[in-house]
Structure 1
Amino acid sequence: MSESLNTLGIWLGGDGTWSSTFPLLMVHLNIVIYALCFWMQQPVLPFLSKELGVDGQGFGMLQSFVSAFALIGGPVIGRLTDQFGPKLTLIISQAGSVAMYSLLSIATSAPLLFASRVPSIAQHAMLASQAAVSVLSSTDKRSSALGKLSLSYGIGMVLGSPLGGTISEHVGYRYAAMISTVFSVLILVLDALFFPEMKAKSETIDKKEDGLNLSKIFELLLVASVRDLLLTTTAVFIGLGSFRTVFSLAAEPIYGLNSQDLGYFMSFGAIVGLVTNVFLVARLISFFGSNINALVGAAFCLSICYVGYSFTSTYSEIMAVSIPVGIFSTLLYTVSGALMSLVVEKGDAGTAIALSHASRSFTGIVSPIIGGKVFDEFGIDGACWFAAGCCMIAAAFASIVSRSISKENITSSSSEKKQL
């Protein structure tokens, strides 16, 4: 293997050998395509929904509909990943994307639009990729390697949001879904043909255990550090999700944005996330002293940022506030994922990460409803303060339980090093 590929493999979190570098490259390609296709739809959906007769409340229900199916599918996909490896679940996830975007491309009524959301039960490429990275990276590289994964997601988001908005403005709302279908089919075929088989090994795994063993999901929920991390991230993502829903609805009537403008705004946020992952995540974790302290700090800073949103009235002001929001939301996402993979044994990392994704799916169900209610009662300012309150509660709770999480983090890391 050439020196450049060796260096790239180490930078991505592997050991520099082709056996780790190639699957890492495949994982990152999956995430770029997955994010590209997903974010091509985001600036289009509010306008396509409106064209099909779906009002603001209906759009919130559409978002919740997606999250409900993701909540059901996430833990199952996590167990499948731990039991059979990420190749199978990446194929399942990309097949779900093919089904979703092909249905969306032919949606001519509100029922068909809602039907196109059903395949989200299988769309968990990020979950499978995070589990793969947890297998391929060592403990000391875990946060950095997961951050690089978010970097690839950000690349897809940066490209997808403006591309989707531009296509919808010049060609039509459904063409973005058609293009996403083609890309998803291509990566599905590549995964089936070339992605290597791999599976994490747990030091304490029951050798008699074969099959799905969904009871492991509930066993992990009883682990105090897992539960505390889930409660922390759930509080944050309820706030962030409710504001995101409100902002999508308020983009046109309050801020005067069209689908192309919204696409560029989303792309700008993704660029901030890219820069954060490349240059700031490691430095911020070092500044705060540990992953758990970084989690507390990120939640606290986000609460301040959302208070700042309540004082914005122009597009440039919104863009300015979105910079620290992008930085600290990226930091929070990265360190929470790393912590979830570190407080459990390596063979259960996929299930633990799946629970983290499931908590975000749960917030995706309730936050659009909460956000819509807050927006109806208190307007956009109320949504800002609600998001700030959720983040502040999360920061306070994480600060209280940080000591116990740190202890379990150390214990799990020590156990993993013995395996290595």
Structure 2
Amino acid sequence: MDTVMFGYLQTTFAILQFLGGPLFGRFGDLFGGRAALLLAYLSAGLAHVLMGLSTNVSMLFLSRVPSIFMHGMQAAQMVVTDLSAESERAGALGKLGLSYSVGIIIGSSAGGLLISTFGESFAAYVAAAGSVLNTIVVLKYIPARTKPVALTKENKSETASSWNIFSMKEIFRLLSIPGAAGILTIKTIAGLPMGVFQSMFSVVAMDHFKLEAKYNGYLMAYIGVLQMVMQGLVVGWLTLQIAERTLFLWSILVICLVGLATALMTNVIHFCLICIPMSLGISVFYLTTNSILTKIVPPADTGAILGLNTCVHSLIRSVAPTIGGFLYELYGFSSFGYLQFVVNLLVCIYIFVNNGN
């Protein structure tokens, strides 16, 4: 595959994730967090098996189809949301993010070793076996009912009036809940500049900073460790000291200032220093928005709202590389920082004015 076709493959994956997020969330609300986890890991297993069997481009695209329900992180967030107290939810979601970060680091290293030793297909089959192992762990250790209150079909209908997974009425009902649409909109607008920068980071590191692939890997590992520390330790502590909505606003302000610093930096040492507040701001922003969203809606609808939240991430991943490539080609690296600064400054002003009214 050439880079253009690979881009189409990535876009296909992002679109499927975008479409599947709300459906998967509704499935979790109706059938429980454990069922959602099982569906996510079975879908992942099927996707990896099809990838291992792929011998041409068409089969490779076909292997992406099961990814419409491949939402392991979203399902885990559903379970953690159900089992955690509201006062501890952001910290619990942060620890979940920490565990996923550890898994990604170990999995990426193991995947590279397996591919170099046994080939791509073998690595895909090992990933499929890992997904099957996950289903066994879920069946053994995740309770069948994770909601804090045993909701029957009758009383669940008061908050989730339709048992149809494909119900658009339910989606619009969630968006009509005061605050839900606003948080999702802010997350989309404020998150887009960050997505643009993240999508172009490898290009920037090698082209702008002139880093070799080895040192680019070290830099990525450094950022990964920072995010693990922020998500797993710092955010939970902050939420115990400061109200979530206050943290949410301050995180946008930090990201805004980080954008200005990014535009003005001149070398990779500056960037390594900037990564510290950047990782803090991004971690606080994403975890507080996730926590706030799950508290805005009734307990029976937390899965669906997390599904809409996943749509935001998928939408950003779909458009960010195109925007990033355009900006870098025409205006250079500093344009990413100025975009982040201006957009988040406007978001901050909007929140201040809206709260004042």
TM-score of the superposed pair, with normalisation by structure 2? 0.85
State the alpha-carbon separation in 2 of the partners of residues 160 and 311 from structure 1: 35
Q: Which of 41, 54, 62 does residue 94 from structure 1 map onto?
A: 41
SS at match of 1:310: helix
Tell me how far 1:199 sits from its aligned partner. Answer: 4.8
State the alpha-carbon separation in 1 of the partners of residues 339 and 262 from structure 2: 11
Matching of residue 245 in structure 1 with residue 199 in structure 2: yes
**Considering only aligned residues, what root-mean-square deviation do their CA atoms show, in Å?**
3.0
State the alpha-carbon separation in 2 of the partners of residues 179 and 260 from structure 1: 26
Change (3 A) 1:282 1:90: closer
For residues 178-226 of structure 1, give each alpha carbon's deviation from its aligned partner in whole angstroms, at most 9, with x where no partner exists.
Answer: 4433322211233245532115346963269563352222101112300
Matching of residue 336 in structure 1 with residue 289 in structure 2: yes
The correspondence of residues 305-320 of structure 1 with structure 2, limited to 5 A, is 305-312=258-265, 314-320=267-273
Alignment gaps of 5+ in structure 1: 1-51, 405-420
Change (3 A) 1:221 1:351: same
Contact 1:104 1:112 in 2 (8 A): yes
State the alpha-carbon separation in 2 of the partners of residues 210 and 74 from structure 1: 18
Contact 2:96 2:232 in 1 (8 A): no
SS at match of 1:224: coil
Change (3 A) 1:302 1:103: farther
State the alpha-carbon separation in 2 of the partners of residues 281 and 103 from structure 1: 38
Tell me how far 1:104 sits from its aligned partner. Answer: 3.9
State the alpha-carbon separation in 2 of the partners of residues 295 and 183 from structure 1: 36
Tell me how far 1:244 sits from its aligned partner. Answer: 1.4
Does 1 or 2 have the higher relative contact order (CA < 8 Å, sep 6+)?
A: 2
Match of 1:180 in 2: 127
Contact 1:296 1:396 in 2 (8 A): no
| One-letter amino acid matched to 1:224 | P
Q: Which of 271, 275, 282 does residue 225 from structure 2 map onto?
A: 271
With 130-139 and 312-321 compared, the bigger mean Cα shift is at 312-321
State the alpha-carbon separation in 1 of the partners of residues 110 and 217 from structure 2: 8
For residues 340-369 of structure 1, give each alpha carbon's deviation from its aligned partner in whole angstroms, at most 9, with x where no partner exists.
Answer: 011111111111111111111122222222
Contact 1:295 1:336 in 2 (8 A): yes
Match of 1:153 in 2: 100
State the alpha-carbon separation in 2 of the partners of residues 300 and 169 from structure 1: 44
Tell me how far 1:102 sits from its aligned partner. Answer: 3.4
Tell me how far 1:273 sits from its aligned partner. Answer: 1.9
TM-score of the superposed pair, with normalisation by structure 1? 0.73
Contact 2:115 2:123 in 1 (8 A): yes
Matching of residue 352 in structure 1 with residue 305 in structure 2: yes
Change (3 A) 1:370 1:163: same
Match of 1:54 in 2: 3
Match of 1:295 in 2: 248
| One-letter amino acid matched to 1:54 | T
| One-letter amino acid matched to 1:189 | I
Contact 1:134 1:142 in 2 (8 A): yes
State the alpha-carbon separation in 2 of the partners of residues 259 and 228 from structure 1: 40
Tell me how far 1:265 sits from its aligned partner. Answer: 3.1
Match of 1:226 in 2: 180
The correspondence of residues 13-412 of structure 1 with structure 2, limited to 5 A, is 52-55=1-4, 59-105=6-52, 111-164=58-111, 176-192=123-139, 194-200=141-147, 201=149, 205-206=156-157, 211-212=163-164, 214=167, 215-257=169-211, 261-285=215-239, 289-312=242-265, 314-401=267-354
State the alpha-carbon separation in 2 of the partners of residues 311 and 295 from structure 1: 25
Tell me how far 1:402 sits from its aligned partner. Answer: 5.1
For residues 80-113 of structure 1, give each alpha carbon's deviation from its aligned partner in whole angstroms, at most 9, with x where no partner exists.
Answer: 1111101111111112222333344455655555
Change (3 A) 1:379 1:82: same
Alignment gaps of 5+ in structure 2: none
Change (3 A) 1:300 1:157: farther
Contact 1:234 1:363 in 2 (8 A): yes
| One-letter amino acid matched to 1:274 | M
